[in-house]
Amino acid sequence: MTDDARRDEPFKRLFFALDCPPPQRKAIAQWRGDLGLRTGKPVPADNFHLTLLFLGAVPLAQINEVCEAAGKVRTPGETLRIALDRLQVWHRAGILSLAPEQAPPALLHLVYALEQAMLPFGFEESPREFRPHLTLARDYRAAEPESATPPEFFLRAERFALFESHKGRYRVLQDWPLS
């Protein structure tokens, strides 16, 4: 299929991610509020997640195949527990985020398995290095803010999900157990 034909097809912007449970969203949003940010656009707490793999524009006709392939991904076989214990600024991308000091090997294996499962679809022209993070603010153009209390959050995930990004909101299309 040509790129022009693909652009004319209806599509959804999709990505795989670990969702952030509502109580944790609230705690992270409150902690972010205590930072007193004066720059950037805060990400709505309802959108907090940890991206595993960004797919981009996926033709509607391929979504079922993507879900079938994701359902065959070999998962860690256990709940993932990811420490979000580092506040960082990605100056080039303009992102303020929480990240793990050390990514758990099971998380890295899951991401690799998803990347391999999605290769036949050819979504990503130039794959990016996986850097686990939870975005707190976009268009952030300042130094790392000072925090009275260091970040000490643990994202506990029992499932991974395929999300749709539409008009600034994220919606789960389908999810799969990790164990």
Active-site annotation, residues: 49, 133
- What's the per-residue H, E or C state across 97-156? EEECCCCCHHHHHHHHHHHHHHHHHCCCCCCCCCCCCEEEEECCCCCCCCCCCCCCEEEE
Pair 153, 85: CB distance under 8 Å: yes
Cα–Cα distance for residue pair 7/24, rounded to 1 Å: 38
